[in-house]
Homo-oligomer: A and B are copies of this chain.
Amino acid sequence: MHCWHEFIPEPGENHLKRMIGKFFLTAFWITRLIADSRFKSERDLPSYQDTIREFTALSTIAIISCFYKSKDSGQFGCVPSLYGKTRFVSLRFIEEFRMNIAHLRRSAVISFTLMVLTSFDAAIAADPLSSWNNTATKRAILQFVEKVTKAGSPDFVRAEERIATFDNDGTLWPSHPMYIQLTFAMDRVRDLAPEHPEWKDRQPFKAVIENDLKTLASGGEKAIAQLIMVSHTGISTAEFERIVTDWFKTARHPRFKRRYTELAYLPMVELLHYLRDNGFKTYIVSGGGIEFMRPMTESVYGIPPEQVVGSSIKTKYEVRDGKPVLMRLPELNFIDDKAGKPVGINEFIGRRPLASFGNSSGDREMLEWTGAGDGERLMMLVFHDDDEREYAYGPANGLPDTDFGRFPQSLMDEAKQKGWVVISMKNDWAQIFEDRP
């Protein structure tokens, strides 16, 4: 390739307009290219940000050149180091670039620079965690991400190893007044009741049919397991997916009167985006049923089905009427909770998370496992202390106890001792849910 600086033009009033035109054309093309690659994949944002840095570097040189017409380019030597990650800002390039734009009118250079920077403005200026209050909690997230993503930093972690795992119930969406999946199971038991007249006199089904939550609660985990089995099995995986998908379309939260898929915590959704924008692969690691979550995680959280780890029942491959199906058997396969979470993470992901997020004692071992890795790690727990906007329960810090997402004092103590960050819903979140759609 010929070097373009061989064609540096002579100055001249008439020529300026043409130069500026070409400059605009260049900016136009590059902007389009960048914008396209940005919208194509969120994973590209880091490289997009590099490009912004390059533009900023070049624009800086352009403006300085307007005011200091010195032939010595030494004064720009700081620019490449200032933008350490820039790729084509060599000293030679700076010199060539500067000679080329030195003939432009000052106002033209400034206009051009402003125009390009303005077109990037939204991307640079927008706060990626705008629904978080500006507290130490938010700063802990920002600092962590900067540390592990900054090339050359001692804490740098290559993108392939940036795994972040999120509990679901109580961490990404509410687990009160009861687990959403339990509500689904109860709805389904009621739907199936006409085919099972014997349920009228048998617990826990009787309690569900009569909506007698007290009796149901007294049945404990065994009752819940029974409900899950009859409501989640005996059909194919495809049928189950359809039933779940249909349920999410109509079922609504009793207090917030919204569809459950509209109840993702906005600050956590922002956090998921922010981590992905910084090269993280985000996973759900939940005690909830893997096939109950998968139909909605992509649209609600931007997490594809293959990045959902959860509890599961056994399935069996069968050929029915010449067509292969996977039948859901009434037999537990894996409980992805407590000490099961590190097991699930190891089995499904095969890498230790760099960051993990939970809200209850079911997440304790996941956070321990994450924190036991080398180098910088981030462990966070959502603490539900906001009765007004959502719910308040513990029993940590003297809040009421609960059956759905217990946060005991021992977990609070372990968090303090190990440097896990506790998110106060009340103080750290400026907004909890998205504005009404």
Query: Closest CB-CB distance, A45 to chain B, in whole Å?
Result: 11
A306 interfacial by beta-carbon distance below 8 Å:
yes
Partner of A9, one of B18, B160, B163, B365: B18
Partner of A351, one of B4, B47, B306, B316: B306
Within 8 A of B (CB), among A270-307: 281, 290-291, 294, 298, 304-306
A268 interfacial by beta-carbon distance below 8 Å:
no
Say whether, besides A33-B30, A326-B346, A346-B237, A160 and B304 are in contact (CB < 8 Å). yes
Contacts of A34 in B (CB 8 A): 33
Partner of A29, one of B30, B281, B316, B342: B30
Q: Give the CA-CA distance A28 to B5 in the complex, in Å.
A: 12
A137 interfacial by beta-carbon distance below 8 Å:
no
In the complex the two chains form, is B342's CB within 8 Å of A324's CB? Answer: yes
Contacts of A25 in B (CB 8 A): 4, 26, 100
Query: Closest CB-CB distance, A341 to chain B, in whole Å?
Result: 8
Query: Closest CB-CB distance, A280 to chain B, in whole Å?
Result: 13
Query: Closest CB-CB distance, A390 to chain B, in whole Å?
Result: 29
In the complex the two chains form, is A21's CB within 8 Å of B47's CB? Answer: no
Contacts of A298 in B (CB 8 A): 160
Query: Closest CB-CB distance, A104 to chain B, in whole Å?
Result: 13
Query: Closest CB-CB distance, A219 to chain B, in whole Å?
Result: 28
Query: Closest CB-CB distance, A138 to chain B, in whole Å?
Result: 28
A82 interfacial by beta-carbon distance below 8 Å:
no
In the complex the two chains form, is A315's CB within 8 Å of B24's CB? Answer: no
In the complex the two chains form, is B343's CB within 8 Å of A315's CB? Answer: yes
Say whether, besides A348-B306, A369-B324, A21 and B1 are in contact (CB < 8 Å). no
Contacts of A281 in B (CB 8 A): 306
In the complex the two chains form, is A88's CB within 8 Å of B369's CB? Answer: no
Contacts of A291 in B (CB 8 A): 350
Q: Give the CA-CA distance A306 to B36 in the complex, in Å.
A: 28
Say whether, besides A29-B30, A304-B160, A369-B324, A21 and B41 are in contact (CB < 8 Å). no
Contacts of A372 in B (CB 8 A): 323-324
Within 8 A of B (CB), among A329-348: 333, 339-340, 342-343, 346-348
A22 interfacial by beta-carbon distance below 8 Å:
yes
Query: Closest CB-CB distance, A310 to chain B, in whole Å?
Result: 10
A8 interfacial by beta-carbon distance below 8 Å:
yes
In the complex the two chains form, is B30's CB within 8 Å of A7's CB? Answer: no
Say whether, besides A40-B47, A317-B369, A343 and B324 are in contact (CB < 8 Å). no
Contacts of A160 in B (CB 8 A): 298, 304
What residue of chain B has the Cβ atom nearest to residue A338's Cβ?
Answer: B317
Query: Closest CB-CB distance, A238 to chain B, in whole Å?
Result: 9
Partner of A41, one of B6, B44, B324, B343: B44
In the complex the two chains form, is B43's CB within 8 Å of A294's CB? Answer: no
Partner of A22, one of B7, B27, B365: B7
Partner of A348, one of B15, B115, B348: B348
A-B residue pairs in contact (CB < 8 Å), sample of 14 = A2-B24, A6-B21, A9-B18, A15-B18, A22-B22, A22-B26, A40-B47, A44-B44, A315-B346, A317-B365, A324-B372, A326-B342, A326-B346, A348-B348
9 other contacts beyond A306-B349, A317-B343, with CB at 8 A cut-off? A2-B21, A4-B21, A5-B21, A25-B100, A41-B44, A237-B346, A305-B349, A316-B339, A326-B342
Query: Which residues of A does B touch, CB under 8 Å?
Result: 1-2, 4-9, 15, 17-22, 24-30, 32-34, 36-37, 40-41, 43-44, 47, 50-51, 87-88, 100, 115, 119, 160, 163, 237, 281, 290-291, 294, 298, 304-306, 308, 312, 315-317, 319, 323-324, 326, 333, 339-340, 342-343, 346-351, 365, 368-369, 372
7 nearest CB pairs, A to B: A7-B21, A305-B350, A317-B339, A22-B22, A4-B25, A4-B24, A9-B18
